[in-house]
Amino acid sequence: MTDAVTIRDLFYDYPDGRSALAGVDLRVAAGETMGIVGPNGAGKTTLLLHLNGILTGRGVINICGMRMEKRNLKAIRRTVGLVFQDPDDQLFSATVFDDVAFGPLNMDLAPDEVAYRAREALRQVQMSGYEQNSPHHLSFGERKRAAIATILSMDPEILVLDEPTSNLDPRQRRNLIGLLHGITVTKIIASHDLGMIAELCGRTALLNGGRIIAVGETAAILGDRELMEANGLETPPGLLLRCQS
Ligand SMILES: Nc1ncnc2c1ncn2[C@@H]1O[C@H](COP(=O)(O)OP(=O)(O)OP(=O)(O)O)[C@@H](O)[C@H]1O
Ligand SMILES: [Mg+2]
């Protein structure tokens, strides 16, 4: 099976000198959904920001056979759709529609295809009717869903999501899990929402201190109480039992 993503020996220090990734190795197969868990400051967001070249560390990254380097950046950014942890990093237009249409517009699609994709993505996150609203006047959860729509509208081959369920109410969280379940592309999802990780991710990597501590079947990782606790995490009792059964 071809890898959708291969990361080898990735190191990254922020400009202030803080080491955020300290030798990450990870392979994600085409079509799989990989969870990334780890305590605050583990390096999850830093790692995801490397997958479409927003950050550039030392090491090797391959995306669908393309080496992460300047000449491949445009093609890689068309392949990897990254939903940021903070929706305010994703929304910058005057209207929700313009934000969600921005990606398809830049893919040189016909205007009616652009409009169709934007409307369809908003429908998927249950944001139909908000097309003409200003993103700045939405609630945080609504902004989160609009930010997810800006990526869904581009129909990326690899979907990378940083805390997609944070601040969603229970019904919207459930809706998003169902939606992601139905999207069969390669997905990489970083989250503290372990229930969502357990539902969606076949394998999970545990990151701490900028290193992959463990990677394996999600139930094996989340069901390993000692491993989780040693890394500042805790699988809720009901979920722990399900992972261990
Ligand atoms: N812009 C920055 N400048 C300097 N250090 C940073 C910056 N962003 C993150 N860091 C540091 O890098 C480390 C990794 O941060 P990162 O945001 O990747 O963690 P995370 O696993 O996503 O955490 P969280 O669960 O809180 O989202 C942390 O120690 C953090 O303080
Ligand atoms: Mg983060």
pTM beyond 0.85: the answer is: yes
Q: What 3-state DSSP class applies to 186? A: strand
Q: Which residues line ligand 1 (CB under 6 A)?
A: 14, 16, 18, 20, 38, 40-46, 85
Give the DSSP letter string of 16-81: TS-EEEEEEEEEEETT-EEEEE--TTSSHHHHHHTTTTSS--EEEEEETTEESSGGGHHHHHHHEE
Write the pLDDT tens digit of every residue in 168-197.
999 999 999 999 999 999 999 999 999 999
- State residue 14's pLDDT score: 98
Please give the distance, rounded to the nearest whole angstrom, from the Cα atom of residue 243 to the centre of ligand 2. 24
Q: Give me ligand 2 centre to Cα 38, in Å.
A: 9
Distance 203 CA to ligand 1 centre (A): 23
**Residue 160 falls in which region: left (phi positive, over 0), alpha (psi -120 to 50) or beta:** beta
Tell me the pLDDT band of 1, cut-offs 50, 70 and 90: low
The preferred substitution site among 45, 54, 85, 188 for testing ligand 1, maximizing ligand atoms within 8 Å of CB, is: 45
Mutate to test the pocket of ligand 1, among 21, 46, 189 (most ligand atoms within 8 A of CB): 46
CA of 191 to the centre of ligand 1 (A): 14
pLDDT level of residue 2 (50, 70, 90 thresholds): confident
- DSSP, collapsed to helix, strand or coil, labels residue 202 as coil
- Domains of the chain, start order: 3-84+156-244 (3.40.50.300)
Between the CA of 124 and the centroid of ligand 1 the distance, in Å, is: 30
Q: 95: Cβ–Cβ under 8 A, 6 or more apart, which residues?
A: 131, 132, 133, 134, 135
CB 219 within 8 A of CB 197: no
Q: What is the pLDDT of residues 26-77, one digit of tens each?
A: 999 999 999 999 999 999 999 999 999 999 999 999 999 999 999 999 999 9
pLDDT mean across residues, the chain = 96
Ligand 1 atom nearest residue 49's Cα = 18
**Which amino acid appears at position 185 of this protein?**
V
**CB atoms closer than 10 angstroms to residue 60:** 13
Q: What ligand 1 atom has the least distance to the C-alpha of 43?
A: 18
The protein residue with its alpha carbon nearest to ligand 1, atom 2, reads 14
